[in-house]
Amino acid sequence: MWAFIARRLIQTIPVLFGISILTFILIYYLPADPARMYAGPSATVETVDRIRHQLGLDQPIWVQYVRYLERLLHGDLGFSYRKQVAVTELILSRIPYTLALTAGGILVELVIGLSVGIVSALGRGRWPDRLGMFVALLGVSAPPFWLGLLLLYWFGFLWPIFPLGGTGTLAHLVLPALTAGLGGAAWYARMMRSSVLDVLSNDYVRTARAKGLGQVGVTVRHVLPNAVNPIITMAGMDIPWFISGVVLVERVFNWPGVGRMAVEAIETVDIPLILGTVIFTACMVVLSGILIDVVQSLVDPRIRHSHS
């Protein structure tokens, strides 16, 4: 197992290296001038040139990249131009909020999605199935920003059950987690329904029923353990999406996550902060992929041996 994990980690090094080069080149050729953004619109040309020299932006791109790579290899993500704080410190301050929203969103996806999928599959062709798939279709079609504003209006304004935004208590997390997770819950419902129906058609399920095992026993002992493999992969792939892809949700609810900070860095052309959030997100994507492989190899050892 450890050799398997070590191989996967080694394979990620070229990926992260390529991402850092591509991101650095794209930022270098941005039409905006970071030195001008930092100095302000009323600064003189001499002031802008001095700031550009102090930040090292007047050096060739390969010199800037080599210097950045040297700092990166020592765990230094640089210093934010706008916030005047170490990028590592800024990211670490946002991680708890991002992880909380990620955990809440995935919990919503799993609890609602799997429940609806199982009920729909077991009631195939009847009203629970039709209702569940109709709700799933609505969930897939609803844009997150629209759903978030709708939830805020209903449960924050008309019926002030939850706060209208911000952080601080568990109640602040409920609406953002619902907004982030309901769309994914719809996909989980459809996938779980399909997976359960596939398992129900197998001979060993019919044999278990013929031996007198009830519907609950068949579902718990035979159906769910065999239907959950695709869900493991999908849940693992959701982790990097929640870490970096819920910017609209964070905007609507004023949630101080890493994704929102990345957008703010792009708006202000804060190069170290942009690079830091991209590298951090890439690492999370890579590590989540390794986590998926490890979990699947534990469930099915053939996957581990196939990578040998």
- Residue 20: strand, helix, or coil: helix
> What pLDDT sits at residue 146?
83
Low-confidence winner among 173-187, 267-281, 288-302 (lowest mean pLDDT): 288-302
At 220, the pLDDT band (50, 70, 90 cuts) reads low
Question: Is 101 or 297 the better-scoring residue by pLDDT?
Answer: 101
> What pLDDT sits at residue 4?
67
> What pLDDT sits at residue 236?
67
> What pLDDT sits at residue 222?
64
Q: Which positions ≥6 away from 290 have C-beta within 8 Å?
A: 5, 8, 9, 12
Contact (Cβ atoms closer than 8 angstroms) between residue 195 and residue 284: no
Give dist(CA 143, CA 201) in Å, integer.
35
At 300, the pLDDT band (50, 70, 90 cuts) reads low
Low-confidence winner among 22-36, 79-93, 96-110 (lowest mean pLDDT): 22-36
Low-confidence winner among 66-75, 112-121, 135-144, 160-169 (lowest mean pLDDT): 135-144
> What pLDDT sits at residue 215?
67
Q: Which positions ≥6 away from 87 have C-beta within 8 Å?
A: 77, 78, 79, 80, 272, 273, 275, 276
Neighbours of 223 (CB within 10 A): 24
In this predicted structure, the answer to whether residue 35 has a pLDDT above a threshold of 70 is yes
At 23, the pLDDT band (50, 70, 90 cuts) reads confident
Contact (Cβ atoms closer than 8 angstroms) between residue 77 and residue 274: no
CATH of 94-255, one of 1.10.3720.10, 1.10.150.20, 2.60.40.60, 3.40.640.10: 1.10.3720.10
> What pLDDT sits at residue 22?
84
In the predicted model, what is the mean pLDDT of residues 95-107? 87
In this predicted structure, the answer to whether residue 39 has a pLDDT above a threshold of 60 is yes
Low-confidence winner among 8-12, 119-123, 214-218, 246-250 (lowest mean pLDDT): 214-218
> What pLDDT sits at residue 233?
67
Within 13 A of 148's CA, how many CA atoms are on the CB side? 24
Question: Is 76 or 2 the better-scoring residue by pLDDT?
Answer: 76
Which residue's structure tokens are 């001095």? 50
Domain assignments of the chain as residue spans, ordered by start: 94-255
Structure confidence by residue, pLDDT tens digits, 145-199: 788 888 888 888 888 888 887 787 888 889 998 888 888 888 888 888 887 787 7
In this predicted structure, the answer to whether residue 104 has a pLDDT above a threshold of 70 is yes
